[in-house]
Amino acid sequence: MTALRQTDVLIVGAGPVGLTLGMVLAQRGAAVTILETRHRGEPPNVKCNHVSARSMEILRRLGVAAAVRDAGLPADYPNDIAYRTSMLGKPITRIPIPCRRDRFTATGGPDTDWPTPEPPHRINQLFLEPILFEHAASMPGITVLNRTEYLSHRQSADGVTVTARDMESGVEFEIEAQYLAGCDGSRSQVRRDIGAKLVGDAVVQRVQSTYLRAPDLIDRLNDAPAWASFSLNPRRSGNVYAIDGRETWLVHNYLRDDEPDFDSVDRDWSIRQILGVDDDFAYEVLSNEDWYGRRLVADSFRSGRVFICGDAAHLWVPYAGYGMNAGIADAECLGWLLAARIAGWGGDAILDAYAAERQPITEQVSVFAMNHAHAMAKERRVIPADIEDDTAQGASARETFGRTLYDLNVQQYCCGGLNFGYYYDASPIIAYDGESQPAYSMAGFTPSTVPGCRTPHVWMAGHRSLYDAMGPDFTLLRLDPGRDASALLNAARLRGIPMQLLDVEPEDRELYGEAFVLSRPDRHVAWRGDACPQDPDALLDVLTGVAAR
């Protein structure tokens, strides 16, 4: 065993979730070490295809959103979702999504006018993860140990000692940290080590998935290309994602209830039925990426000084793109809480907020995803028999089925509710005032300053984003410049709590009904009022976790 190394937070896993957590911590001054079993530069699986608006907001605060948005599909490649009888078959319907060239200027469509400076971005994890890795590795305070395997840990009241192994030399060594975070995926060893168990539905969906190269495919399309092309015919239902917008594609073949496993359906035959090509069409299989859709949430997100994030904590069918994106939200939440505790201004109970806030959200989101998965499975079972017919009856079937598909799926591809509507209603570090947070759906939400909700975004003078003006920490938004904020600001300063004052004049004054709204580092409302609290230290005790203990 080699000499002991030391760090503030040790993260297991350098995927998008682990890298985000590391960046959030490092941005706030914590020392971070990340363990990753892969070689540096080794490509990830072609897993995630979408970065949500909330995730892009986080990446914007970390200074990497612009690089992410400039990568992926070609700038003019349509991000639409097309529904056809096969990829080369007859059109059924289409959901228009702006290409990245037009993302900030497009208007009028269902995926425009997002209330944020960072709308969603369609990009495969192949392109996303290397950008996040290089950005994280360049930040002061972050050390990434590639080809290093987490083995075990032991913890005490003062810290966590992790045993790791250099996979090249076989040498084992120990790292001493204040906290340990398992961002090590669905088979998380950290989760097993803390005794947490995944609870829910182990198999909701089975998808035979193939990553392939087919340079001739795009030129054979009989209408405009799309980011996602769903194929629906009586023989096969599937989906084709454009990966590079030129020659690489990810083909999902949705297995039916009477098809028991991934080998029960001929892969080549299925691919050809989904693409709509004959036996002479040539393609190259790059990898098989078969997967199960699940609805599983860990029964515990924490044991003492050890936490789990992302797929280590929750797994579900990836409708609305909320697998990785929920993990990125986990990472931001845990990151600022850990940083507050390490910096000393957060009380020990501030860390209780992580599970209290994130665990209920994963339950909420997984229910939305599950409901949509069941609805889509139902539609795949009732594909009209004449949907491919070149007749008036066939055209009518496609039109009717297309309306149903559009109304159902526009909710998940333009999911404003899942991005901006979720709230924390049982957090120990939010000062609630008795008003209930407004309900939300997959697509719809009501902006609100009710504590626990996302701080409503507005544009300021000169088209400056409120979020850019707010800065990285607590921001006291003042809607009436005549109101005195000095008592709360001075109390925060004396306790070392980072808080700034920002005077705001939103166009929609009713949206911000109170004179003061205090926004947390993660852009959730912590408190609001028409005057500063008479006892500011009592409020700060709540917000920093001191009052809870």
Residues 313 and 170 in one domain: yes
Residues 183 and 331 in one domain: yes
Residue 370, pLDDT score: 65
Residues 428 and 354 in one domain: no
- For residues 475 and 450, the answer to whether their CB atoms sit within 8 Å is no
Structure tokens at 388: 């491919």
Count CB atoms within 10 A of the CB of residue 330: 30
Domain boundary among 313, 329, 359: 359
Q: Does any domain span residue 15?
A: yes
Query: What is the residue type of 292?
Result: Y
Residues 320 and 430 in one domain: no
| Domains in the chain, number | 2
Residues 433 and 530 in one domain: yes
If you average pLDDT over every residue of the chain, what do you get? 93
Contacts of 371 (CB under 8 A, 6+ apart): none
Residues 48 and 149 in one domain: yes
Q: 152: burial class by Cβ within 10 Å (0-12, 13-18, 19+)? A: exposed
Q: Does any domain span residue 432?
A: yes
Distance CA 338, CA 341 (A): 5
Structure tokens at 453: 């909700």
Residues 48 and 130 in one domain: yes
Contacts of 93 (CB under 8 A, 6+ apart): 83, 401, 402, 403, 405, 406
- The range of the structural domain enclosing residue 454 comes to 423-544
- The Cβ-side half-sphere exposure at 378, using a 13 Å CA radius, reads 9
Residue 513, pLDDT score: 87
Residues 354 and 429 in one domain: no
Domain boundary among 322, 338, 359: 359
Residues 450 and 324 in one domain: no
pLDDT of residue 404 exceeding 80, the answer is yes
Residue 317, pLDDT score: 66
Residue 436, pLDDT score: 96
Residue 293, pLDDT score: 78
Q: Does any domain span residue 433?
A: yes
Structure tokens at 536: 């500011």
What's the pLDDT tens digit per position in 35-48?
A: 999 999 999 989 88
Residues 427 and 354 in one domain: no
What's the pLDDT tens digit per position in 270-322?
A: 999 999 999 999 999 999 998 887 788 999 999 999 999 999 999 876 665 67
pLDDT of residue 461 exceeding 60, the answer is yes
What's the pLDDT tens digit per position in 532-541?
A: 999 999 999 9
| 3-state percent breakdown (helix, strand, coil) of the chain, nearest 5 | 30, 25, 45
pLDDT of residue 242 exceeding 90, the answer is yes
Q: Does any domain span residue 381?
A: no
Q: What is the DSSP string of 456-522?
A: PP-EEGGGEEHHHHH-SSEEEEES-TTS--HHHHHHHHHTT--EEEEE---S-TTTS-SSEEEEPTT
Residue 315, pLDDT score: 86
Residue 169, pLDDT score: 96
Distance CA 30, CA 341 (A): 10
Residue 316, pLDDT score: 74
Q: What is the mean pLDDT of residues 248-266?
A: 91
CATH number at residue 195: 3.50.50.60
- Give alpha helix (H) positions in 138-236: 189-193
Distance CA 306, CA 40 (A): 26
Distance CA 531, CA 478 (A): 10
Residues 142 and 16 in one domain: yes
Distance CA 57, CA 466 (A): 12
Domain boundary among 359, 379, 413: 359
pLDDT of residue 229 exceeding 80, the answer is yes
Q: Does any domain span residue 90?
A: no
CATH number at residue 510: 3.40.30.120
Residues 34 and 133 in one domain: yes
